[in-house]
Amino acid sequence: MLYDNLSVNELGHLTIGGLDTVDLADRFGAPLYVLDEDQVRANCRTYVQALGQYMPQGSYPLFAGKALCFKGLYPILDSEGMGADVVSPGEIYTALAGGFPPEKLYFHGNNKTDEDIQYALESGVGHFIVDNHHELERLDRAAGEMGICQKVLLRVTPGIDPHTLQAINTGRIDCQFGVPIETGQAARFVQSAVGMKNLEVLGFHSHIGSQIFEAEPFCDAVDILLDFADQMRKELGFTVRVLNLGGGFGVRYKESDPVVDIPGNIKALSEHLKEGCAAKDYPVPQILLEPGRSIVANAGLTLYRVGGVKTIEGYRSYITVNGGMTDNPRYALYQAPYTVLPADRMNDQRDFQCTIAGRCCESGDLIQENIMMPKAERDDLIAVLTTGAYNFTMSSNYNRLCRPALVLVHAGQARLAVRRQTFEDLIACDL
């Protein structure tokens, strides 16, 4: 099994967190998002403990809400000692509705509107990750008007492509987020920021990418950020107290993907950081990480009912399911790999080569192509694994399909966390 929380019971059914997926689909309907809360909690603990053990006091992980965001998730994150990234007022609203402490929120975004800034300040959001000069000026003014001194981190781009491990790859500097170090613009950004009366600059933020399986790209980022921090200390007398290294440890979508040793990587990163700081006689900053995918992806799966099988003789066979790109657009968008399982007949021979198609009026609405499954029949149950991240949050009402429900599995019990949309929900905003 791809993950330890998955198993097969005596009926040959797939289980998650000990619960039979066939029972879950019978009880809550399909398509259905299932999220193993215990796995989410275990993933949170891995980060909280490793950062606590290896990094300076005050270091902790922030969950990136763009990976998964619903009210009921936030009490779980809070109780596990996580902070949270938010990228929009809607995410702030959701986190606060879930009772999350605003001081542990970190507000991202490359185009925060004046309304967004106002809303976040009024909500008491603890930290802004300031993306650019415009935001810096507008935030300083808004904070001043409210008599607030707002804590900020400055987003800089170190210019690293984590997948080629090539430092100073212009491809990565050339992006819409943050201010590049290499061009000298980040130095001017920091200079302006530390001169702002209503902002307290704690340090820098950088996010180098996603699906990273080793510590090395993060170490490269640390090298560049420390050089830059040292330069800023010399030029401005400004010392970084917090370094936020962004998100990105990878997860396994297929058996062929490696298993990431998160504590081992954090330990390696901390040693690298401490050596780098010692060489410069620089105080070791607190470290923040922003995992999204690696907190929730492997805790989730999606269940679908099979509608039918279509074989085009001499070409290929399709198994059609009652969801698709509306609940998981990632294959349609960028051919994301997934493991698909026959949830109700796990012990059957997988000798039928097929493509899993959704139900939308779009030939690109596929979940996975050319995989091996048992020959399916109508009403069979299919599970797509590792869908806890970037599925629910990227879902849509295309073709006016209702969004599926989301069920949390905890200590052998299932409870509804997000109910299935109804037709009334679909027309709720239509006047």
Ligand X SMILES: *Cc1c(COP(=O)(O)O)cnc(C)c1O
Among all residues, which ones are annotated catalytic? 361
* Calpha distance 145→126 (Å, rounded): 17
Beta carbons of 52 and 59 less than 8 angstroms apart: yes
With binding defined as CB under 6 A, does residue 135 bind ligand X?
no
Binding segment for ligand X among 259-267, 286-294, 325-333, 345-353 (CB under 6 A)? Answer: 286-294
| 59 near ligand X (CB under 6 A) | no
DSSP string, 66-122: TT---TTHHHHHHHTT-EEEE-SHHHHHHHHHTT--GGGEEE--S---HHHHHHHHH
| Smallest distance from ligand X to CB 256, Å | 19
Between 291 and 324, CB nearer to ligand X: 291
Cβ-contact 83, 105 below 8 angstroms: yes
The binder of ligand X chosen from 158, 246, 307, 323 (CB under 6 A): 246
- And the tokens for 8? 């097969």
The answer to whether the CB of 61 falls within 8 A of the CB of 289 is: yes
Site string for ligand X, 82-101 (x = CB under 6 A): ---x----------------
Q: Could you tell me if 180 and 159 are in contact, meaning their C-beta atoms sit under 8 angstroms apart? A: yes
Contacting residue, 203, 248, 342, 388, with ligand X by CB under 6 A: 248
The one segment of 243-251, 273-281, 368-376, 399-407 that binds ligand X by CB under 6 A: 243-251
Give the span between the Cα atoms of 79 and 376, in whole angstroms. Answer: 42
SS3 label, residue 203: strand
Of 98, 159, 203, 247, the residue at the interface with ligand X (CB under 6 A) is 247
**Does residue 31 have a cis peptide bond before it, meaning omega lies within 30 degrees of 0?**
yes
The footprint of ligand X on residues 101-130 (CB under 6 A) is 108
Q: How far is the CB of 62 from ligand X (least distance, A)?
A: 8
35 neighbors 388 (Cβ within 8 angstroms): yes
Residue 343: closest CA among 380, 318, 397: 380
Q: Which of helix, strand or coil describes residue 197?
A: coil
Q: Residue 172, interface with ligand X (CB under 6 A)? A: no
The yes or no reply on residue 207 touching ligand X (CB under 6 A) is: yes
Residue span binding ligand X (CB under 6 A) among the ranges 61-69, 182-190, 317-325, 419-427: 61-69
Side chain identity at 412, as an amino acid letter?
Answer: G
Among positions 30, 64, 222, 288, the unique one binding ligand X when judged by CB under 6 A: 64
Looking at residue 117, its amino acid is I
Q: Please choose, out of 64-72, 95-103, 275-283, 347-355, the segment that lies near ligand X by the rule CB under 6 A.
A: 64-72
Max alpha carbon distance in the chain (Å)? 73
Count of residues that interact with ligand X, criterion CB under 6 A: 16
Q: Which stretch binds ligand X (CB under 6 A): 241-249, 274-282, 379-387, 413-421?
A: 241-249
CB of 322 to ligand X, least distance (A): 27
For ligand X, the binding residue among 61, 162, 217, 291 (CB under 6 A) is 291
Does 294 bind ligand X (CB under 6 A)? Our answer is yes
**CA distances (Å), 128 to each of 95, 120, 121, 289, 308, in order?**
15, 9, 9, 15, 50
- Phi, psi for residue 140 in degrees, rounded to 5: -60, -45
Instruction: Scan residues 310-369 and list those touching ligand X (CB under 6 A).
Output: none
Nearer to ligand X, 54 or 107 (CB): 107
Where do contacts with ligand X occur on this chain (CB under 6 A)?
64, 66-67, 85, 108, 207, 210, 246-248, 290-294, 389
